[in-house]
Amino acid sequence: MALAALSGWTGEQKHVVAASFLGWSLDAFDFFLLVFVLKDIAAEFHTDISNVTLAILLTLAMRPIGAFIFGRAADRWGRRPTLMIDILLYSILEFASGFAPSLTVLIILRALYGVAMGGEWGVGASLTMESIPPHAAASSPACSSRVIPPAISWHRSSMACSSRTLAGAACSWSA
């Protein structure tokens, strides 16, 4: 039954689902990566871990703002270009986070990352549901039963592999 829902998809439809899946997975990967290196960041900036956790708080707090901003942009200029800009923005912000010269700069970058992170889910889910064949959408409300659990599993598995790889290496959290 589940395979029947996947029959007849065009290449473009498969690409949209893959892009949405990877976009959500990679922004979640980066978010959880910060959790694993809190102690290292605190040591780098000579502060308490509780001060660094403000970055996590602000990332989460800014997500609804990003959902609103990017949702409005997607309605006005289209889901595909908005999603592309959103993914580019959060990629730039997460890359810049590795070069933050101070805790204040890191916190600001992570707050802005939260805005971009908030925009990815809604725009990606909307684009996916608008792109896939109607029979697939009807059998998979909001793609939640087909896309979200594998995405969660994928980013958790990749985090476990990454943390084990990095734990054995003498490396820093920053570039």
pLDDT per position as a tens digit, 4-30: 666 778 888 888 888 888 888 888 888
Establish how many alpha carbons lie within 13 A of residue 65's alpha carbon, considering only the half-sphere containing its beta carbon: 11
pLDDT in tens, 27-62: 888 888 888 999 999 999 999 999 999 999 999 999
Q: What is the pLDDT of residues 62-98, one digit of tens each?
A: 999 999 999 999 999 999 999 999 999 989 999 999 9
Rounded Cα distance, 133 and 155, in Å: 26
How many residues comprise the chain? 175
> For position 28, what pLDDT does the model report?
82
- The fraction of the chain above a pLDDT of 90, given in percent, is 46
CA–CA gap between residue 46 and residue 26 (Å, rounded): 29
State the Cα–Cα distance between residues 74 and 170, nearest whole angstrom.
43
Residue 38's CB is within 10 A of a number of other CB atoms, namely 17
